Amino acid sequence: MQSNTIKGVTTVAQLAINKMIELEVPADPINYMVWFHYFADSYPDLKRTIDVLLDNNQVFDAEQCAKIYDQYFSLNTESAVLDNVSTNMEQVIRQAVKYLDEAGSNAADFGVVLSGASGELAGQSVPDGATEIIAGVLNATKQMEERSKVQEERLAAAASEVATLRNEIEVTRKEAATDGLTGIANRKSFDIKLRDTAARMMEDGEEMCLLMMDIDYFKKFNDNHGHQSGDQVLQLLAHILKDCIKGQDTAARYGGEEFCVILPHTTLKSAVHLAESIRERVARQQINNKATGEDLGAITLSIGVSKYDFGEPLSQVVARADTALYAAKNRGRNQVISEEAVGS
């Protein structure tokens, strides 16, 4: 038997399979062996025999293929070995397919499965041709694995870069929407949140209210105790607001010492009640200079409350809250005034 170095084992195997399908040859290991060697040109006599049969339009049924196999391959020992090899290869393929299904077609794992199976086959006595098939498949698989590893490494690197970029974008986005001193939403973020919340409340048919508040005599506090102490007060108020509001509410620094809270799913009465709770909690706080421990006294808030009317310009709900805020200041500060109480 002439021994050929088979190049392109995958191509030869595909040609054999295609011809078997074309001629309706039963798909079994013996028939596959015959047709693989026909296209691999491993046995010149075998090839001539099949060519003659093809020219005479012979039917390649199981019986015909068995005769060809018996003629060109040993019947006993090699048949037994072939059966064993075929069984092992089938088990390898099934195991690999199962593993691919479980591992999401991971080429590296596929290579591990086949490499382990090849170790089992290496110790067996196999007929010529079967060894070449196995070697070719393993070689092709190794190449596929190596290429896949490179691709996986590239994909992993790309995924890592994308994740890093996504994180950087998210950090930048949060920074752009956050007040640097207090850590709550800034004015730009407030405008967006107010718009989005109003649209959602209109769609849901739910009420939305707005609190606007200002620290009483804050300029005087800054002048007396310095801007660092003033910053400390702003941070304290932001902390209290975050602690008092619930999940969908939004606290924001509107500008300077002015703060806002957007309250979706909230009635005017409930909004006033929350505003009173915030005002009382702030008034109870004793401010101490962090650096010196000096007692700086207490601060108070004036708060205005308005309710959003569906479809109105958002500037109007802000204006009514602002009007109520200044009404609270004009009435002595350290109090809450709702839009309904402005004219009373």
Residue 309 maps to which CATH number? 3.30.70.270
Which range has highest mean pLDDT (3-17, 28-42, 68-82, 91-105)? 28-42
C-alpha–C-alpha distance, residues 62 and 124, integer Å: 27
CB contact at 8 A, 88 and 138 = no
141 and 204, same domain (yes or no): no
> Quick check: is 258 catalytic?
no
66 and 208, same domain (yes or no): no
181 in a domain, yes or no? no
Number of structural domains found in the chain: 2
134 and 238, same domain (yes or no): no
328 in a domain, yes or no? yes
- Please provide the average confidence, as pLDDT, over all residues in the chain: 77
161 in a domain, yes or no? no
More confident residue, 198 or 136: 198
Of 135, 151, 167, the last residue of a domain is: 151
- Catalytic residue (choose from 153, 257, 276, 339): 257
Tell me what pLDDT residue 52 has: 81
Three-state DSSP at 303 gives strand
Of 151, 170, 196, the last residue of a domain is: 151
Candidates 254, 297, 298; CA nearest to 280 is: 298
88 and 194, same domain (yes or no): no
Candidates 196, 198, 216; CA nearest to 207 is: 198
The values of phi and psi at residue 215, to 5°, are -75, 125
173 in a domain, yes or no? no
Tell me what pLDDT residue 1 has: 35
User: DSSP code of 24?
Assistant: T
47 and 113, same domain (yes or no): yes
Of 123, 151, 179, the last residue of a domain is: 151
141 and 198, same domain (yes or no): no
Question: What helix, strand, coil percent values describe the chain, rounded to 5?
Answer: 65, 10, 25
50: domain range?
9-151
In this structure, what token pair is assigned to residue 310? 């569906």
pTM of the complete model beyond 0.75: no
179 in a domain, yes or no? no
